[in-house]
Amino acid sequence: MLTRLAVLCLCMATTVQAAEPAKADGAAASAFQNTPRLRALDFTPFEAALAKLTPQAIALLDAALPQVTIAELQEGMVQGQLSSEALTLYLLRRIRQHDERLRTYLELNPHALDEARSADADRAAGRVRGPLHGIPVSLKDNIETAGPMHTTAGAELLLNHVARRDAPVVAQLRAAGAVILGKANLSELAGIVTLGSRMGGSSAVGGQTLNPHGAAITGGSSAGSAAGVAARLAVVSVGTETSGSLITPSSWNGVVGMKPSLNLVNGAGVVPLLSVNDSPGPIGRSVTDVALLLDAMDTRDVRYAAGLKGDALDGVTVGVLAADVLKVPGNAPLLQAATASLVAAGARLRPVELPQLAEWGGGQPFGHLLAAGARLDMMGYIASLGLGVNSMEDLQAYNQAMPQRRQPFGAEQLALPGAGPKRLTREEADALAARLRQTAAATLDAAFASKEAQVLLSLENTHSTFYATAGYPAITVPLGLRAGGGIAALLGLPSQGVPTGITLIGRRGDDARLLAFAYAFERASGLRVNASLP
């Protein structure tokens, strides 16, 4: 059977004559003025090879990447229609073409092309390490990588910080044969710096990440990962989630993003914000790609993609958190579209509610915990680097000494961890974290049990503090474009034309089944909209 990649090869065999020169993105003339990068993307190691990238390869991948999966790219490599080197060069070419505007990357891996060639040589010798062999992956830049790449978390203070070793998840990706393409932009220090309209994906190191769909917002903090995948500047990416920081940008950039069950992926080597919540997770254009990436990232021997079936929702009871979702203006037509697709996939829908909890207090206790994480976990990591910045007050003073360079988008949120009636000690923070985790888990469990639901349906990051704090898995799948409204509108941001996604929440440890449900929804709905970049 011919793959879609093979069909595209046949269709273009007699029509491709020459590559068009790289064009500036049509939106580059917009009025938005980004801040300068503190480190320019360096294409020097790739220039000679980029000049030899064939028109046929460019045209093939222009047509293929918006629709093919990693599995189909692998089949193309098996059949000799594609190589990892050509795929990596193609993505580098797109990065050079689009990323000065989109700012999805902070740094490129100077060895990316060497890694791709090594993957091709291994394939030719019969040594294929798995489904990610030769596939280019980007990494959110709060995930440690050994030199020569830096790990900055977007902060000027960490501009020259080089970790001693790869984070375990990066080591696993390398062992799986993945090509590390570069480090993705993010909300600085995972979102603890800036408030307001530029809070999503803005960093001193890279500037403001822009949405490739032409919308004004990207969400945070894994904005560079999600926007880069949506813009086809990476095949897949690894982001991180503390509370909505992977699900939100994935939803708002029209891609699939998953926060796995807590500790399913080793979180060591991630610049922390709140260690008890922080979790790396996969981002891709399809559920299949996310399943394959998670397989290479996790600590279990599970083949997630093998369990993806179009009828996985048939007869499944879905608990719909409609009351909370419909509190947000503009969500009603989206919820209607989501439930229609679920019914078409054979699901049984039941309304469920989360109780109003005095313990949750409108999020205030979680806010106190997050503040403690920033002071104890994040600043503990920074202090360990010996840079002379050992407290939140030190960090504020350092940034304010050169505000245009070190905090170009403001730093309103840096003051918040010192606010409030009391600063939590480590013991108090640990006790609060345990109490909130127990409460969040019990609350979600009650929702599951009330209607014997196997999965819960939410929208965007409406319930992120619950599933993230409980350590339960969640995945967002594209639901098309907004006509308006949504959480972004409540924040005073324009939301018309912004992609959105449903969020499916599973029980802790139920990641494989959650992926299967997401795949069945994706197949039934077909609501993904590709970013229209040349």
Active site residues: 140, 221, 245
Question: In a 10 Å sphere around its CB, with 0-12 CB exposed, 13-18 middle and 19+ buried, how is residue 320 labelled?
Answer: buried
What are the residues whose beta carbons fall under 8 Å from the beta carbon of 404, sequence distance 6 or more?
Answer: none
DSSP state of 417: G
Please check whether residue 249 is in contact with residue 229, taking contact to mean a CB–CB distance below 8 angstroms. no
Say if strands 279-284 and 236-241 run parallel, antiparallel, or are unpaired: antiparallel
First to last CA, the chain: 30
Of 455, 456, 460, 457, give the one whose Cα is nearest residue 478.
460
Token pair for 47 = 């220039």
For 41: left if phi > 0, alpha if psi spans -120 to 50, otherwise beta; the answer is beta
Side by side, the strands of the sheet bearing 256-259 are 105-108, 179-184, 136-140, 236-241, 279-284, 256-259, 474-481, 499-505, 455-459, 317-320, 348-351
Please check whether residue 181 is in contact with residue 112, taking contact to mean a CB–CB distance below 8 angstroms. yes
Q: Which helix (H) or strand (E) holds 241?
A: strand 236-241
Q: Using alpha carbons, list the distances in angstroms from residue 441 to 220, 447, 451.
A: 24, 10, 16
What are the residues whose beta carbons fall under 8 Å from the beta carbon of 314, sequence distance 6 or more?
Answer: 345, 346, 347, 520
Q: How many residues does the chain have?
A: 534
Mark 163-194 as b/e (b = at least 16 C-beta within 10 Å).
Answer: beebbbbbebbbebbbbbbbbbbbbbbbbbbb
Q: Using alpha carbons, list the distances in angstroms from residue 404 to 39, 196, 211, 365, 407.
A: 15, 17, 24, 33, 6
Please check whether residue 128 is in contact with residue 120, taking contact to mean a CB–CB distance below 8 angstroms. no
Please check whether residue 294 is in contact with residue 237, taking contact to mean a CB–CB distance below 8 angstroms. no
Token pair for 351 = 């309304």
Please check whether residue 505 is in contact with residue 460, taking contact to mean a CB–CB distance below 8 angstroms. no
DSSP for 449-508, written as a single string: HHTT-SEEEEETTTTHHHHHHHT--EEEEEEEE-SS-HHHHHTT---TT-EEEEEEE--T
Q: Please, where are the H alpha helices in 213-348?
A: 223-230, 247-252, 287-297, 322-325, 332-344
Place of tokens 């269709």: 11
